[in-house]
Amino acid sequence: MTVRVRVAPSPTGDPHVGTAYMSLFNLAFARRHGGAFILRIEDTDRTRYIAESEQQIFDALRWLGLDWDEGPDKGGPYGPYRQSERLDTYRPYVEQLLAGGHAYFCWCTPERLAAMREEQQRRKQPPGYDRLCYGKTREERERLGGFSDRPVVRMLIPDDPAQLPLTFPDLIRGEVSAPRPDDQVILKADGFPTYHLAVVVDDHLMGITHVVRGEEWISSTPKHLLLYDWLGWQRPAYAHMPLLRNPDKSKISKRKNPAARLLWFR
C-alpha cells in the first residue's frame, strides 16, 4: 500500500496557523513512509470564498518548506484538486445515496429551520433536524408551509444504534467514541456539496489512505464512516491531532489572536 495523505484548507481568508500544523504532520508521515502528500482546495462554501486566499495558502506553505506532491498548481493523476471544479463528480454519489434510501430531499426554508432550532432550545431538546420532509413527496411537503423550491439533500442517519459507527479506531487515541450525528446536509440548494460529502468522495477517489486532521472533526467521523459504508468503499485510517491552543487553553482564533494568521509570522 502506498501511503497517501492530504491537507484540504478552505480559501476563506488569511491562512490559519492550523493549516501549517496539519501540513507538517501530514508531510512528515508521507515522507517517513515513502508516500505522497496532496494539497486539495475545499472551496465549496461560496459565501465565504476569497479568491486571493488560495494563492496565500500556496505561498505560506512554501515559505515554510511544506511543499506538496499533487495539488491545484501542480496537477497530478487524481485532479482536479479544487472542489469547485469537481461538482459533476459528486452528483452521481448523491443519486446513489438517494436510491439506496440513505438520503432524502429537504425543502425546509432557512426561516423554518431557525424557528425549529429556537423551539428546541426553548424546550431544552437536543438540536437536530426533525425530519419534517422525510418520506414526503414534493407536493405533500409543499402543503405544510415553510417550503422552499430549491431543496437540499440530507443523510438519513439510522435509528438503530447497532448501525451507527459511533466508536472507531484512531491511530493516536485508540478507540474513540462520538455522539450520534444529525441528518447532515450533503448537497446544498446551490448544487454544491457540503464538506461532509465532498471530503469522503474526494478522499476515496484520490486514494487517501490516512486522514490526519484536528480533533474538532471527531464528532463528524461517524457521518463520514457511514458514507464510506453506504457507498461500498474501504475506510481510511484516522488520526485526530490535538488542537493548537492559546496559553489559556482556548482555541486559537484568527479573530482574537493575530498569531493564528500564518502571514503574521512573515
Q: Which residue has the higher pLDDT, 244 or 228?
A: 228
Cell numbers placing 77: 493523476
Active site residue 223: no
Q: What is the pLDDT of residues 18-42, one digit of tens each?
A: 899 999 999 999 999 999 999 999 9
Residues 40-76: tens digit of each pLDDT? 999 988 888 888 999 999 999 999 999 999 999 999 9
Q: How far apart are CA 185 and CA 167, in angstroms?
A: 22
DSSP secondary structure of 204-261: HHTT--EEEEEGGGGGGHHHHHHHHHHTT-PPPEEEEEPPPB-TTSPBP-TTT-GGGB
The answer, yes or no, to whether residue 13 has pLDDT greater than 90, is no
Do 213 and 244 contact (CB within 8 A), yes or no?
Answer: no
pLDDT tops 90 at residue 151: yes
**What is the rounded (10 degree) CA torsion for 191, 194, 196, 200?**
50
Interval 97-141: pLDDT, tens:
999 999 999 999 999 999 999 999 999 998 999 999 999 999 999
Q: Which residues of 74-103 are buried (b: 16+ CB within 10 A; e: fewer)?
A: eebebbebbbeebeeebeebbeebeeeebb
Measured distance CA(42)–CA(59) in Å, rounded: 17
Which CATH topology does 4-94+163-183+195-265 take?
Rossmann fold (3.40.50)
Please state, in angstroms and rounded to a whole number, the distance separating the CA atoms of residues 97 and 252: 37
Looking at residue 205, what is its pLDDT?
Answer: 98
Distance CA 138, CA 151 (A): 9
Can you tell me whether residue 44 is helix, strand or coil? Answer: coil
Longest dimension (CA), the chain: 59
pLDDT score at 245: 82
Active-site residue identified among 74, 124, 188, 254: 254
Q: Are 103 and 97 in contact (CB under 8 A)?
A: yes
Which pTM value belongs to this model? Answer: 0.93
Q: How far is CA 105 from the centre of its chain?
A: 20
